[in-house]
Amino acid sequence: MPKKKEKHFFYKNLVNAAVGFTGGILGALLIGVLFVVVSSKTVEQKVESLVDQKIVTQEDMIISTVKKADPAVVSIVITKDVPVMEQYYENSPFLGPFSDFFGGLFGDPFQNFQYKVPQYRQKGTEKKEIGGGSGFFVSADGMIITNKHVVDDTEAEYTVFTNKGEKYNATVVARDPVNDIAVIKIEGDEFPFLQFADSDNLNVGQTAIAIGNALGEFRNTVSVGIVSGLSRSLTAGDSYGKSEQLEGVIQTDAAINPGNSGGPLLNSHGEVIGVNVAMANGSENIGFSLPSNLIRSVVDSVKENGKIIRPFLGVRYIAINQNIKEKNKLSVDYGALVVRGETTEDLAVIPGSPADKAGIEENDIILEVNGRKLDKNSSLSQMIINKKVGDVITLKILHKGEEKTVEVTLEEIPE
C-alpha cells in the first residue's frame, strides 16, 4: 500500500509540475503579448511625436529664417518722366474736292460741313512709376544687390523702400557686363545685411526660401520650396524683347513672380544661396536664381575696384552636343565650337583678345579648361566667369583634327 501511495504522490506532483509549467508558459506568453501591445503603442506614440516635432521644427526654422533675413530685403521702385499726351481734332480734307458738288446738290448745309479727325500731341511730361523689383543689402553702408534688368534704364530713377517702410533714393554703382546682376547704393549706415553661403555645396532637395517684391506690389513676400536642380542653362528674356544666356543657375520650386527679380534665395540658415532672376513661362513652380558665389565675386569686385571687372576670353561659340555633332559631322560630342555670329561683324575670335593672342581660330573646338571637360555640366562661359583678370588658364583644343594645348592669360572685358 505505501508503494501505491508513493506512486500516487509522484503522479500528483508530476501533474502539478506540468500544470505549473504550462501556466508559466501561458503567463509568459500573456506578458509577452501585453509587452508587444504596449511596445507597439509606445513606438507609435514616439513616431507621432517625432513627426510632430519635425513639423514644428521645420515651421520654426522657416519663421526664424524669415525674421532674420527680412529686414535686409528691400523693394525697388522705378520711376521715369514719361510724355503726357492730349487729344485734339483737325479738319479732315476728306470732302475737299467734292464740297462744291455736295453743296450744289444738297444746298447750303453741306457747304459748311467739316469732318473732324482725332489727333494726339505731347503736352509736357510727368513722373510715373513704370516698374519695380527687389534687392537685398550686402553691406552695412547701404550696398544692395539686384538684377541688371531691374535698373537697366539709364534715364529712370530708382527708389528703395526698406522693410520698415523707409524711403531712399538709390544710385546705380555698377551693371555686370555679362550677367544679370547690378549693384546699387543708398546713403546711410548700420543697415542689416545678408551673408553668402557657398553655392558649390548646394544639394538638390534642400530647403529654399525666396523673399521679394512680388508683382511689384506685395513687398517682402515669402515663398518656400526646395532646390529643384543645379547648373541649369537658359535663355531669359524681358518684356522689351531683350534676352541673354544664363548658365550655371539654380532651379527652384519656390514661387518666383515678376517683381521678385533681384531678391534673395536663402537656405535654412538665412544665408544667400542665389539671386532670383527668372521664371519659366507657361509652367508652374519653375524659377531660377543666379548662384551666390557669382554674386559674391561681383560684390568683392565693386568693393575693391569700384566697378565690376570680368575676365574674358574673346571667342563666340556654341556648345557641342550629340545633335550638333551629327549635324556638323564633328568628331566629338562635347566642347565649345568657335563660330561666327549672325552678322559679318560678329567675328568668331575678337581681334586682340586673349584668344586671338593664343592663336585660337574659327572652327577650333575647345575641349577642356584646366583639365576639366566642357560638357552639359561645365560650360566655357561658366568656367571663365569664375576666374579673375590676370589668371592663366590651360585650354585643350582640337585644331584641324589634331589636339593641342595652349595657355591663355585672361584680360578685362573692354568697355
Please state, in angstroms and rounded to a whole number, the distance separating the CA atoms of residues 141 and 364.
Answer: 47
**Beta strands, E only, 66-206:** 73-91, 116-137, 143-146, 157-161, 167-175, 182-185
- CA nearest to 147, candidates 294, 267, 254: 294
Q: Are 330 and 367 in contact (CB under 8 A)?
A: no
Instruction: Report the alpha-carbon angle 125-153-255, nearest 5.
Output: 115
In 154-308, DSSP assigns E strands to 157-161, 167-175, 182-185, 207-214, 218-237, 243-252, 264-266, 272-279, 287-291
User: Which one, of 140, 291, 290, 272, lies nearest residue 195 by Cα?
Assistant: 272
Helix (H) or strand (E) run with residue 405 in it: strand 402-409
180 is catalytic: yes
> For residues 365 and 337, is the Cβ–Cβ distance under 8 A?
yes
| Residue of 149, 228, 289, 381 marked catalytic | 149
CA atoms within 13 A on the CB side of 306: 0
CA distance 353 to 412: 10
Question: CA-based angle 261:264:267, to the nearest 5?
Answer: 145
- The active-site residue, picked from 75, 134, 176, 180, is 180
**Active-site residue (options: 261, 289, 301, 381):** 261
Query: In degrees rounded to 5, what are phi and psi of residue 335?
Result: 105, -175
CA dist., res. 312 & res. 328, Å (int): 27
149 an active-site residue? yes
H or E element, residue 384: helix 380-385
Residue type present at position 307: K
SS3 letters across 160-189: EECCCCCEEEEEEEEECCCCCCEEEECCCC
Is 261 a known active-site residue?
Answer: yes
Distance, CA of 2 to CA of 8 (rounded, Å): 10
**Nearest one of 313, 311, 252 to 278, comparing CA atoms:** 252
Which positions are annotated as active-site residues?
Answer: 149, 180, 261
